[in-house]
Structure 1
Amino acid sequence: MVEAEPRRATELRSYRALAHPLRLRLLSLLTGAPLSSAEAARELGETQANISYHIRLLYDAGLLELAEETTVRGGRAKRYRHPVDGPTLPAGSPEDHVAVASALASEMVRRSGHRVPGLPGDLTDAELTVRPETWERARALAAELGRIVHEEALPPGTEGAVRMSATVLLFRMADEERGADPGGEPGTDPGASASGGAAREAR
């Protein structure tokens, strides 16, 4: 119990750190290859000062790890990466969840503008009632999908590779009629998660 509160504080910082489109882009970029703030700034077309600020927030939240330190022009440069197995995200408050969803939506709009015309994709959008075992199976599949795309991520510009977008935001919803989740109070679902993944598009 002594470590519970510090751990939860770190988890909540991790959750809130996701609620910014640029930080989501950084996490994607630093999954494929460890980069310094200067290198990441060049890749994203941002200033080094701005990228350094966001990298520091992500690092403090436990979403980035220091991969290496190198010598650049006589100075030291730190390269960071986003580990495949990051911290488990708690449910967070309803406000936190909405903020993360808003950042994800903003990123989906930006990425959609870069979709290759004429090529098929996958899409699923659903608000359904299912059995508990179906919910757990869906969570497991989403987690596996996230692991696959993150473990196989390559550095930007890798010859023969394809650039892809993947987003899954999977969570339990409160019962509309009674205003409470059958498994607990609203906003406290331990199964809520955000992970990289793909969806299904009818075609």
Structure 2
Amino acid sequence: MATSPKLRALAHPVRLRMLSLMWAEPMSAAELARVLGIGHGLATQHLRVLDKTGYVELVEVRAKRGGRERLFKAVHGLPLSEQAAEGGLPLLVESLANAARARVPAHTTGRPLLAVDGELWLEPEVWKEVYDSLVTAIGRIHESAVPAHTPGAERVSVTAIAFAMKDEAASASGAVSSRTTAPPAAS
């Protein structure tokens, strides 16, 4: 199966960072280049990929130094979840792991830290409740995002991947579960 252009757009850590930066405020390629410490041309190239794949939208064009500055913002929603659901989970997990790994050196010691991992068995109603709580928490984080370097704001890293898994032992033995579990509906 060929990887979709939308999923390939998310596979680059710079583009993931750009989306995070443009979540709270529209930004231009020049602003993104400055914040990310990359060249303007490279920022423009990455921004074009995000625009072409629909992850950002043009919100303003303004005159600047005899030219035009184009400001883009991230399209809100759950594009990462949508791409994972369309078969892109392995590539997406790798991309998110790389992005999280790149942020580790910026960790502020002595501040709250949450690191969890689990392959657990939950009752379907408990899983739905937990899933909905995670969606709510992530929504709160995104809704509360302020522009980069806002005085008094704290830079944080959040990476979350949560999904129901197949019971491979039951599948291999041909056993059928006594209950069926449907994936929780996204909020």
TM range (shorter): 0.7 to 0.9
- Residue 82 of structure 2 is aligned to residue 89 of structure 1: yes
TM, length-normalised to structure 2: 0.82
Q: Is the 8 A contact 2:13 2:98 kept in 1?
A: yes
TM, length-normalised to structure 1: 0.76
Structure 2 gap segments, 5+ residues each: none
Equivalents in 2 of 1:192, 1:168: separation in Å?
A: 17
Equivalents in 2 of 1:98, 1:20: separation in Å?
A: 14
Amino acid at match of 1:56: R
Q: Is the 8 A contact 1:21 1:106 kept in 2?
A: yes
Runs in 1 of length 4+ with deviation above 3 angstroms? 12-16, 189-193
Hey, what does 1:52 align to over in structure 2? 44
Equivalents in 2 of 1:38, 1:192: separation in Å?
A: 39
1:132-178: CA deviation from partner (whole Å, max 9, x where unpaired): 22222222112111211111111111111111111111112222221
Hey, what does 2:92 align to over in structure 1? 100
- Residue 14 of structure 2 is aligned to residue 22 of structure 1: yes
Amino acid at match of 1:52: T
Hey, what does 2:32 align to over in structure 1? 40
Equivalents in 2 of 1:111, 1:26: separation in Å?
A: 14
- How far did 1:13 drift? 4.3
- Residue 126 of structure 2 is aligned to residue 134 of structure 1: yes
Equivalents in 2 of 1:135, 1:17: separation in Å?
A: 30
How has the CA–CA distance of structure 1 residues 163 and 148 changed in structure 2, closer, same or farther, with 3 Å as cutoff? same
Equivalents in 2 of 1:13, 1:154: separation in Å?
A: 29
Equivalents in 2 of 1:174, 1:158: separation in Å?
A: 43
How has the CA–CA distance of structure 1 residues 33 and 89 changed in structure 2, closer, same or farther, with 3 Å as cutoff? same
Hey, what does 2:152 align to over in structure 1? 160
Structure 1 gap segments, 5+ residues each: 1-11, 194-203
- Residue 23 of structure 2 is aligned to residue 31 of structure 1: yes
How has the CA–CA distance of structure 1 residues 117 and 29 changed in structure 2, closer, same or farther, with 3 Å as cutoff? same
Matched residue count = 176
Structure having the higher helix fraction is: 2
Compute the RMSD of aligned alpha carbons. 2.6
- How far did 1:192 drift? 9.8
Equivalents in 2 of 1:104, 1:54: separation in Å?
A: 17
User: Which one has the largest radius of gyration?
Assistant: 2
How has the CA–CA distance of structure 1 residues 86 and 129 changed in structure 2, closer, same or farther, with 3 Å as cutoff? closer
Amino acid at match of 1:106: N
How has the CA–CA distance of structure 1 residues 16 and 144 changed in structure 2, closer, same or farther, with 3 Å as cutoff? farther
Equivalents in 2 of 1:73, 1:155: separation in Å?
A: 23
Amino acid at match of 1:148: R
Q: Is the 8 A contact 1:35 1:80 kept in 2?
A: yes
